[in-house]
Amino acid sequence: MGSFAAFIVTFERADLLPATIQKLLEQTIVPEKILVIDNSESSNTSDLIKSMDDTRIQYHRMGYNAGPAGGAWTGLQMLVNDGFEWIFWGDDNDPPRTSTTFQEIFNVLNSSQIENNQIGIIGAMGSKFNRWSFATMKIPNTELKPITPVDCVPGGGMIIVHSPVVVDGILPDPDLFFGFEELDFCLRVGKKFQIFVNGELFLKFRKAAGKDGMTGGVITGFLKKTKRGRTFSREYYSLRNLIYISLFKSRSLTGFFMVMARATLKLLTLLLFKPRAGYNYSKIYFAAVAHGIFRKMGKKMSL
């Protein structure tokens, strides 16, 4: 399978890192290097890494909050430049769920039907992407095979990137900052490489979550129950980035109108049945639409 490393993007959550790093070190296939990409302003994370005193764990301070997208842009390039062939893209709060997760993902490479140089991404969980509706689609359990082709491996899906992708110049877009950076990356990877997940592992995770009867459907990303504070800012980034990706990356007017239709329906529904929540959502709705259309990207509000 070649050399294997991992990076973890974190922001002011040093309390989560020890458990996440420990789960990486407990894998039956352990990354040769674990690079912590720190977006934090405080020194808490750097102090923690120093205290762990493990040469396998290395630290890189961004110096500003580059978001998950900017952190991934940096982590992939650093580890490819270090000569690693396969790179796990991780978050501080999404460690592998089992000790054999990486081993089972790498089982995808054992198929004689697939040339490894054609593979861009492997993972544990993924989805299809409907370019007309501009929405990711759940794969029914009945369609999950040991090697399952997908269009996207989402955040938390245990995404492992093959170095030829980065060498080819395909990288996460740091302008997205947060929200659908994995989707945008996967859609661009999928134009030149193949993306696979271990469907048996995916099904195991679903059954553990009580979803052994999954039949498919749309994953919208921001048509969820709206909560206060942090969720509103996250929905801003989700909507803004989907508008930006549909208009300027996929160049899909149909996709743009479908994204707008779903967001507008949510706004009208909230205004009708939950006016206070609708009022709050309207502020992020209009900001996200304006910023997406006029390409005002990067960090615009706190998460």
CATH number at residue 95: 3.90.550.60
Domain finish residue from 140, 172, 191: 191
Burial of 66 (0-12, 13-18, 19+ CB in 10 A): buried
What does the pLDDT read at residue 67? 96
Do both 15 and 162 map to the same domain?
yes
User: For 110-131, what is the mean pLDDT?
Assistant: 87
pLDDT for the residue 209 = 85
Q: What is the mean pLDDT of residues 64-76?
A: 97
CA atoms lying within 13 Å on the CB side of residue 109: 19
170 lies in the same domain as 234: no
| Claim to verify: residue 37 and residue 163 sit in the same structural domain | yes
3-39 pLDDT, tens digit each: 999 999 999 999 999 999 999 999 999 999 999 999 9
Domain that includes residue 256, residue range: 224-293
| Residue 108 falls inside a structural domain | yes
State the pLDDT at residue 116: 75
The number of angstroms, rounded, from the C-alpha of 83 to the middle of its chain's C-alpha atoms is 23
User: In this structure, are 161 and 231 located in the same domain?
Assistant: no
62 and 179 in a single domain? The answer is yes
Give the Cα separation of 261 and 255 in Å (integer). Answer: 10
Q: Are residues 164 and 264 in the same domain?
A: no
Q: What share of the chain is helix, strand, coil (3-state, %, to 5)?
A: 45, 15, 40
In a domain, 299, yes or no: no
173 domain-assigned: yes
* Percent of the chain whose pLDDT exceeds 70: 92
**pLDDT of 281 over the 50 cut:** yes
Question: Is there a single domain that holds both residue 8 and residue 95?
Answer: yes
Domain boundary among 142, 166, 191: 191
Average pLDDT over residues 214-223: 53
Global confidence as pTM: 0.92
- What strands lie across the sheet with 194-197, from one edge to the other? 57-61, 34-38, 4-10, 86-91, 160-162, 119-123, 194-197, 148-149
* Number of domains composing the chain: 2
For residue 129, the number of C-alpha atoms closer than 13 Å in the C-beta half-sphere is 24
Q: Give the pair of three-digit tokens for residue 84.
A: 């690693």
Say yes or no: 273 and 171 in one domain: no
**Is pLDDT at 227 greater than 50 in this prediction?**
no
Same domain for 187 and 228, yes or no, is no
Is 138 within the bounds of a domain? Answer: no
Question: What does DSSP assign to residue 84?
Answer: -
